[in-house]
Amino acid sequence: MQKHSVIGQSVQRIESEEKVTGRLKYLEDLKLSGVLQAKILRSPVAHASIREIDVREAAKLPGVVAILTREDIVGNPAYDSHYGPIYKDQTIVAIDKVRYVGDPVAAVAATRADIAEEALDRIEVEYDELPAVFDAEEALAEGAPVLHDKVEMRREGFADVGGIRPVDGTNLCNQLHLSKGDIERGFRESDQVFENVFTSPSAQHSSLEPHTAIAQFEGPGRLTVWATVQNPFVIRDLLAEIFHLPLSKVRVISLNLGGGYGSKLYPKLEPLAAALALKARRPVAITLTREEVFQTLTKHAARIYLKTGVKNDGRIVARQCRIYLDTGAYAEIGPRVSKKSAYTAAGPYDIPNVQVDSYLAYTNKTPAGAFRGFGVSQSNWAHESEMDIIARALKIDPMELRRQNLLTEGSTAITGEPLYGLALRECLDEVAAAIEWGKRAEPENSDNPSLARGKGLACLIKTTVTPSVSSALIRLNEDGSATLYVGTADIGQGSDTVLAQIASEELRIPLEHVQVVHSDTDLTPYDLSTSSSRSTFHMGRAVQLAAEDIRKQLACLAAPVFQVGAEEIVLENQEARPRDGSQPGLSYKALFMKVYGIKGINLFGNGLFKTSTTQKSGELQTSSFWSIGAAAAEVEVDRETGQVRVVRYATAADVGKALNPLFCRQQLRGGAITGIGLALMEQLVYQDGLLINPNFLDYNLPRFLDIPEEIIPILIENPHPEGPYGAKGLGETALIPAPPAIANAIEDAVGVRITDLPITPERVFLAMQRKNKPTA
């Protein structure tokens, strides 16, 4: 086996120095000459018809260059009024209705941001308020106010969203019904049946960098957009559709991002900025305030009804999941979220009879979209909580209960496909060992009788978007240095560095000789997306293939020079030489000079990697790889206050192969912290459709003191046959199981079961009160 030189090394991020010195440029640092600043007028009501919009006073304000309202977009031949990644249910600004508090109604581009802001105050809008609905289940009930009369599908959508359909005249945005075995027979065969309801609230992605877009039309029919996006190609494709342009005439540029977490995947400000730029005939920039970020995209609130039938020995016989997801006022990517949530809603268990019914509903709230885990954390919260409820009832160790039911080699998924190579058992064993599972947890301060400790476990399985495409291009310069072109956006995860490591390894050149050009649709080959933990796996393979293309070309150039076959050429240290050592090596530069006789040669290598919905065996493949992991939490609960402190958190992921172990551990740490936040404090609070905590004072995020002293990231290397060097993605693994692991540990500590997230001190306190004073 080949020894790797840079793969598996914990090298620092290429951009570290720029980042820590504050020199790295983010989009807000970009100052285009002549750029206008735009501000958005947003709906103050949750649901209303718009009677009139009067911009006359605003237009008089000196410095105002363009105002965009429905007047501009309805019937404008330059662009479509409706768009969206799956359904065309969004409009550039509101047309006849507003559907949530924060819905864009108009936008002003002015020479200064404060002028644009002032102009907003001068725009008069008359609304006719309509009844509104704020809960997914209520929205689907008979007689609920309907947000969209009719929703048009996008003509050419994503490959993995087939079968998704809204139901016109209702708020049912999407539904999914999966089953395996015979659920009724399963329940009949069960010794005990458990039924619980689990809820999780909307939450914020909390990227440090807010959404920004700068749009510029150059000449006729050429649009450039700089935007904080994880998916520049998706944005390009959508803008090309909306503005009726060839793909080559839309350029979307994403710089390094200050976090994404799913919030920067689909169009946000880009169509609006472009429409304003077209009207103003000048570049237009929009940067959201923090409040507006909160009003732009959230995580799906969920209510999950879970019913599980088990044998007394712990074998799970049947599981039924009914999922209600609240997608807010517009579908955005919600239908895919509901789909991914449903696939693994029964958990990583081999259950003969399963039924999943998933409902996605429009409500008059902020649109919900992708959020680290893509709907899986909601269903994981349910099934991993219920596992412990069952274990406690059956008096079986929760770890044993899981081990007994885990998916194993060749287990059949709810989709009917066999699953292979899932290192669930190893992940579970490792996290359990890391927190000394089986050893009773004791508070350090035994003098304080109000403190109690407990331990909890959870595991997870998650799909990645399939099928999908990543492509990479490499230019080998004549001095043996290389430029790598990838569509992957570096959102802080370190993709530039890991992809450069792969190029370095494959081309046998020093890492510091690789330059990465990233996420610019004019300059990099197509990549579907930086999301779904897919980049290392997909783009990593594309980089390998591109490098292989380069190596082949080098070998073909060198073979006649050395008078050996191309397969006899060894490439190492920026040199080509015959394998038999009969002749000294030639540097690539010298080789080019020998073959071409002149300076200025560069080779291009191209790599295309695509995944399929079919396994090699011919069977269905829902996911090109499965994210597998487990978490174990030790918590300390204060019986006096209900306050929960996570003392230790172990998180294991099946990474396939850790290409950069440091980054893998950082990913797991970061995910764990978000997971702890979602478990204990994060939630968006709405009152009659009004979000009342749209800022970081009122929206609680984990502070340094909330982070456990001991976060133990564990990397399980279980090589994937298709991943680069066996690697898989791990970006969402640590977060997903945190809430149930913590809830399970809380029950272990103080005997109460919390089924609603977040697990606030108040909820724990009240639950303890209820437990101690039984009502009956």
- Which residues are near its own copies by CB under 8 A? 14-18, 21, 23-25, 29-34, 156, 158-159, 218-222, 233, 237, 240, 246-249, 251, 281-282, 467-469, 471, 473, 475, 477-483, 512-515, 517, 522-523, 525-528, 596-602, 604, 606, 608, 610, 612
Strand partners, 42: 104
**CB closer to its own copies, 563 vs 602:** 602
**CB closer to its own copies, 601 vs 701:** 601
Report helix angle 232-243 to 270-280, nearest 10: 50
Contacts of 139 (CB under 8 A, 6+ apart): 133, 147, 171, 326, 361, 362, 363
Kindly state the smallest distance separating residue 160's Cβ from its own copies, in Å. 10
**CB closer to its own copies, 247 vs 566:** 247
**CB closer to its own copies, 251 vs 268:** 251
Pairing of strands 82-83, 90-91: antiparallel
**CB closer to its own copies, 131 vs 221:** 221
Strand partners, 710: 648
Pairing of strands 469-476, 586-587: unpaired
**CB closer to its own copies, 221 vs 565:** 221
Residues 539 and 12: their CA atoms lie apart, in Å, by 20
Alpha helices in 247-332 (DSSP H): 270-280, 290-294
Pairing of strands 301-310, 192-200: antiparallel
Q: Do the beta carbons of residue 572 and residue 508 sit within 8 Å?
A: yes
**CB closer to its own copies, 15 vs 568:** 15
Q: Do the beta carbons of residue 563 and residue 522 sit within 8 Å?
A: no
Kindly state the smallest distance separating residue 661's Cβ from its own copies, in Å. 22
**CB closer to its own copies, 384 vs 490:** 490
Question: How far does CA 423 lie from the centroid of its chain?
Answer: 22
Q: Do the beta carbons of residue 420 and residue 434 sit within 8 Å?
A: no
**CB closer to its own copies, 30 vs 396:** 30
Q: Do the beta carbons of residue 358 and residue 306 sit within 8 Å?
A: no
Contacts of 81 (CB under 8 A, 6+ apart): 73, 74, 75, 91, 92, 95
**CB closer to its own copies, 598 vs 776:** 598
Sign of CA dihedral 496, 249, 336, 543: negative
Helix or strand or coil: residue 104?
strand
Kindly state the smallest distance separating residue 164's Cβ from its own copies, in Å. 16
Kindly state the smallest distance separating residue 31's Cβ from its own copies, in Å. 4
Helix or strand or coil: residue 376?
helix
Kindly state the smallest distance separating residue 240's Cβ from its own copies, in Å. 8
Contacts of 473 (CB under 8 A, 6+ apart): 484, 485, 524, 525, 546, 604, 605, 606, 607
Kindly state the smallest distance separating residue 68's Cβ from its own copies, in Å. 20
Kindly state the smallest distance separating residue 764's Cβ from its own copies, in Å. 47
Instruction: Compute the half-sphere exposure of residue 469: CA atoms within 13 Å on the CB side of its CA.
Output: 10
CA-wise closest residue to 241 among 68, 110, 90: 90
For residue 85 the two structure tokens come to 């990644």
Kindly state the smallest distance separating residue 484's Cβ from its own copies, in Å. 9
Kindly state the smallest distance separating residue 237's Cβ from its own copies, in Å. 8
Q: E strand or H helix at 176, and its extent?
A: strand 172-180
Q: Scan for tokens 């970081």, then name that residue.
A: 696
**CB closer to its own copies, 249 vs 577:** 249
**CB closer to its own copies, 32 vs 59:** 32
Kindly state the smallest distance separating residue 123's Cβ from its own copies, in Å. 28
Kindly state the smallest distance separating residue 554's Cβ from its own copies, in Å. 15
Kindly state the smallest distance separating residue 504's Cβ from its own copies, in Å. 11
DSSP, res 344: T
